[in-house]
Structure 1
Amino acid sequence: MNKNRDLLNSSLLTQSFDADLSREDQLEDAKRIARQYSRLENSISILSDMNAGRSYIYYSKFAQEFGFSAEEAVIDSIWEDELLRMIHPEDLQRKYRIELQFFSLLKTIPKEERMNYEVITKLSAQPPNGETIQLQHRLLYINSTVQSCVWLALCLYKKIHSHPIFNTPEAVIINKSTGEVIDCNQLWFKDLLSSREKEILNLMKHGYRSKEISGKLSLSVHTVNRHRQNIFHKLNVNNVMEACRIASGAGLL
């Protein structure tokens, strides 16, 4: 399995979801949204529930080109592997890489702003008939929990037509509220941590405790602990393991 996909699995599925009585209603609303996207955009629409590790798939007429005949399906995975197996391997690597960066970005911003962002990726796919199809893939997280866990994700696969007006970028993150396009190779959050914070986080990653880090870097324990708290705050995490996972995925380490 791909390293970036492993990191995504670990990051998304190990979040601390608490019980929420209103969550079932929100899930049903999200299903209706996913179903409508499929019909209106003639796309394959996939709603993934990170808490349950389950996805709800809605197939449009376009899905028949991939050999899918059902209108809807439920799978016990957040990965639509039956479709992903048809994607060109290099495109799949790029897709996983930018999605990991996207998740890392979302962890650093308030949950009420997360729906402003989405990922658009261009993919080549080869259905069973052997004819290569160009796809536009969109990913957006449409719901977070009270605890700020990223909960529901919506993926849309849509056929790209050959006319120039349908050009799709290779892989970008977009802020829909401002129109800002964030190139995946120039993400601003790569500068989120200072060089000292990166240095301390790297030592934490290798098992050093605050007292050991203070001696190694000639800093007071108080200063090291302050940097530690700043790192956790900036990455929106609660422990070293999660901080290292998010920082590695975002290219900070």
Structure 2
Amino acid sequence: MKNTIDILNREFSRQNYSDEQACNSDMAELKGVASNYARIENAIAVLSDLRADMSYICYGGFANIFGLGKDVKEGTFESIWEKDIFSRIHPDDLDRKHAQELCFFHFIKQQPRQKRRDYYLMSKLRMRTATNSYIPVMHRMFYIFGKSGETLRMALCLYSPLIADFQAGCLIIDSSDGHIIETEKQDNDSILSAREKQILGLIDKGMTSKDIAEMLYISINTVSRHRQDILGKLQVKNSIEACRIAKELKII
């Protein structure tokens, strides 16, 4: 799990936050949205500021089942990783949750800017109650972009009762038309070309550009160009990070 969180933190931190001021002006409104979800749906609502690494948490009535509503105060916390909530999620589900969010991040980045606001992630989790029994919970995550549509600035997570089960463990929903994508069936393979996956697999085995060029009968310049394309598509700074993310996305 820590590797996935580290990757997400790096992905968030390297974004261009030039539209931060415009987003800050909306913070009060977004806090109101989170509070309304908690109040109307009795949900646990977590609004995370990815740039400032802070979260605003509101507890609806559903939080009482987990001992959160009374024992843990709501308000602003200096982390986007809500540890009090995470400690109540089944460890296996928590690992999957972060991997799903990484996949969702890369899915969103592949969409046209004008469509990115339409998608949200929905998954089912097991969470431990105050009586130490696990119950199914519906988790929804909405990414909130700056006005340019390029920079992911906020994330809103909602935890509420799972009132209707669904077979897939995790879904991406297009809220504009109701189209559903099962993350397990999402074609992450399409992020990289066949040649790029081949080269990244060889890099992961420790081969140099010269070795790869000789093995594939291509020039070192061609290998270098592929390496740069891989870094750009996976939005990472070096080959080590590229290999880690590709493994998380099950590309290699």
Q: TM-score range, shorter-chain basis?
A: 0.7 to 0.9
- Which segment drifts farther, 59-68 or 229-238? 229-238
Cα contact 1:104–1:250 (8 A) shared by 2? no
In 1: Cα distance, 2:91 partner to 2:230 partner = 34
> Per-residue deviation at 1:78?
1.1
- Which residue of 141, 144, 151 maps to 1:142? 144
Q: Is the 8 A contact 2:57 2:76 kept in 1?
A: yes
CA deviation map 1:89-143 (0-9, x unaligned) = 2222222221221122223333432222221111121222334332100112112
Residue type of the alignment partner of 2:188: F
In 2 relative to 1, CA 151–94 (structure 1 residues): closer, same or farther, beyond 3 Å?
same
Match of 2:106 among 104, 107, 110: 104
Task: Report 1:1-253 matches (<5 A).
Answer: 2-12=2-12, 14-19=13-18, 20-67=20-67, 68-69=69-70, 72-144=74-146, 146=148, 148-161=150-163, 166-168=164-166, 169-204=168-203, 210=209, 213-236=212-235, 240=239, 243-253=242-252
Q: Deviations over 1:43-81 (max 9, x none)?
A: 100011111111110111221222222673211111111
CA, structure 1 residues 170+235, in 2 after alignment: closer, same or farther (shift >3 Å)?
A: same
Contact 2:23 2:146 in 1 (8 A): no
Q: Are the counterparts in 2 of residues 39 and 60 from structure 1 also a CA contact under 8 Å?
A: yes
Deviations 1:130-177 (A, max 9, x none): 34332100112112475933221110000124xxxx224422222333
What TM-score, normalized by structure 1, do the two folds share? 0.82
- Note the C-alpha offset of 1:211: 5.2
User: 2 CA distance for matches of 1:227 and 1:238?
Assistant: 14
Mean alpha-carbon deviation: is it higher for 182-191 or for 148-157?
Answer: 182-191
Residue 9 of structure 1 aligns to a residue whose secondary structure is: helix
Do the aligned partners of 1:17 and 1:147 also contact (CA within 8 Å) in 2? no
Contact 1:119 1:171 in 2 (8 A): yes
Contact 2:55 2:80 in 1 (8 A): yes
CA distance in 2, matches of 1:144, 1:232: 24
- Superposed CA RMSD in Å reads 2.8
Residue 35 of structure 1, CA deviation: 1.7
Q: Structure 1 residues 98 and 133, CA, compared in 2 at 3 Å: closer, same or farther?
A: same
- Taking a change above 3 Å as real, the CA distance of residues 196 and 238 of structure 1, as seen in their structure-2 partners, is same
Distance 1:193 1:29, change over 3 A: same
CA gap 1:178/1:193 in 2 versus in 1, 3 angstroms: farther
Q: 1:120 to 1:222 in 2, by over 3 A?
A: same
Distance in 1, matches of 2:119 and 2:191, equals 18
Q: Give the distance between the partners of 1:226 and 1:206, measured in 2 at CA.
A: 19
Farther off after superposition, 24-33 or 134-143:
24-33
Q: C-alpha distance in 2, partners of 1:154/1:189?
A: 24
Contact 1:91–1:123 (CA under 8 A) maintained in structure 2: yes
What is the letter of the counterpart of residue 9 of structure 2?
N
Change (3 A) 1:144 1:224: farther
